[in-house]
Amino acid sequence: SVPAAITSAVSAGARRGLLIKGGAALEAIGSVKTIAFDKTGTLTQGRPQVTDIVPFGVNVGEVLRQAAAVEQGSSHPLAKAILGHAQGLELPAGEDARALPGQAVLATVNGRTLAVGSPRYAQEQGALTPEVKAQAQLLEGQGKTVVALIDGARVLGLLALRDEPRADAREAVAALKALGIRPLMLTGDNARTGQAIGKSLGLDVQAELLPADKLRVIEELKAQGSVAMVGDGINDAPAMAASDVGIAMGGGTDVALETADAALLRAEVGGVVELVQLSRATLTNIK
Ligand code: ADP
Ligand code: MG
C-alpha cells in the first residue's frame, strides 16, 4: 500500500542517516528542479582558517589582537577562526559587541569602536582605499574570504580565511546535475570568493546576499519550479522555511534542524543526492 511504501522508505532513510520528517517531505524531495546550497558549513566544512594578515600602518600582531578582541562577541565561524588564530595571545577586552548579520561585528576596544566585517561593509563606511581594495581582491580571487578590521573611516588590516569544500561536494554537485537538478550556491560572502569556490565545485553562484536576500532568491526560484534549500545555520532558517523542501546539513544549528523537512545526520553533501534517489525510487514503486 502507499502509506506502507512511504513508511518503509522513511525508515530505510533513517538507517542511512537521512532523517525525513514525514511522507509529504519524502514525496516533495524527488520532484525539485533546483537545489540551493548555503556555502559556509554546507558546501564547505565551515571551519575557516586564517591564511593571511595584511596590516596597514600598524603591525600584524596588533591587527590580530584587535580583530580577535572584537570577535569575542560573535559566534560566527569567521569569529571562531580568528579567535583560534589568536590563541595564547593576550587580548584587550571587547565591550558592547553587536552583530550586523551578513556584514560585520562591532565592539568597543580600548575606548574605540572597532568593526570586523566584509570589504563591502568597509566600503560603505568610506574606509576602503584603492590600495586596500586591490589587496582584498587579490586574496578573494584565491577563493579566500577577506574581512577588514575597521577603526572609524580607516582599515587597520585585512584578514584572509580559507574554508575547504567538503570532500564529496564536487562529486555530489555533478550527481545532482545528472539527475536533471540545477544546483546553486547562495552566499553572503563576496562575489569573487564565491565564484572561485563555485567554479571549483561546478555550480552557479549568487553572492553578497544578506539573510533577507536569500529568502527573496528562493521566492524567485520557486516561480520556475519546486526548490529545496540546504543549510546549516540560523541565518539559513528563513530561506529553508520559504523553500518547498528545507534540508539541514549534519552538524548544523538546532534552529536549522527544527526548520527542516529533512536532515542529513552525516555532514556529507552526497546525502542530498541519496534523498532525491530514495524519493524517486519510492514514488516509482507506488505508481
Ligand atoms: P555565508 O553566507 O557565507 O555563511 P554570512 O552571511 O554569515 O556568510 O556573512 C557574510 C559576510 O559578512 C562574511 O563573509 C563577512 O565578510 C561578514 N561577516 C559577518 N559576520 C562577521 C563576523 N562575525 N566577523 C567578520 N565578518 C563577518
Ligand atoms: Mg552556513
Domains parsed from the chain with CATH numbers: 2-45+164-286 (3.40.50.1000), 49-162 (3.40.1110.10)
Q: Grid coordinates standing for 89?
A: 595571545
The predicted pLDDT at position 278 comes to 97
- Shortest-distance atom of ligand 1 to CA 117: 26
Q: Which amino acid is at 119?
A: P
Neighbours of ion ligand 2 (CB under 5 A): 38, 40-41, 232-233
Work out the average pLDDT over 217-222: 97
User: pLDDT tens digits for 167-216?
Assistant: 999 999 999 999 999 999 999 999 999 999 999 999 999 999 988 899 99
User: pLDDT tens digits for 258-278?
Assistant: 889 999 999 999 999 999 999
Cα of 26 to ligand 1 centre, how many Å? 33
CA 256 to CA 247: how far, in whole Å?
A: 8
Q: Grid coordinates standing for 55?
A: 596590516
State the burial class of residue 287 (Cβ atoms within 10 Å of its Cβ: 0-12, 13-18, 19+). Answer: exposed
CA 252 to CA 15: how far, in whole Å?
A: 20
User: pLDDT tens digits for 61-107?
Assistant: 999 999 999 999 898 899 999 999 999 999 999 999 999 988 999 99
Q: Is the dihedral of CA 115, 119, 120, 126 positive or negative?
A: positive
The predicted pLDDT at position 60 comes to 98
- Mutation choice for ligand 1 from 39, 70, 80, 118, CB with most ligand atoms inside 8 A: 118
**SS3 state of residue 189:** coil
Helical axes 191-201 vs 130-140, angle rounded to 10°:
10
CA 142 to CA 248: how far, in whole Å?
A: 28
Closest residue by CA, ligand 1 atom 13: 189
- Shortest-distance atom of ligand 1 to CA 147: 16
The predicted pLDDT at position 73 comes to 87
Residue 145 backbone phi and psi in degrees, to 5? -90, 130
In 92-236, alpha helices (H)? 119-124, 130-140, 169-178, 191-201, 211-222
**SS3 state of residue 30:** coil
Spatial contact of 238 and 218, defined as CB atoms under 8 Å apart: no
Cα of 104 to ligand 1 centre, how many Å? 7
- ipTM entry: 0.95
Q: Which residues line ligand 1 (CB under 6 A)?
A: 38-40, 71, 74, 76, 78-79, 102-105, 116-118, 145, 147, 187-189, 235
Nearest alpha carbon to residue 73 among 109, 112, 106: 106
The predicted pLDDT at position 210 comes to 87
Ligand nearest to the CA of 253: 2
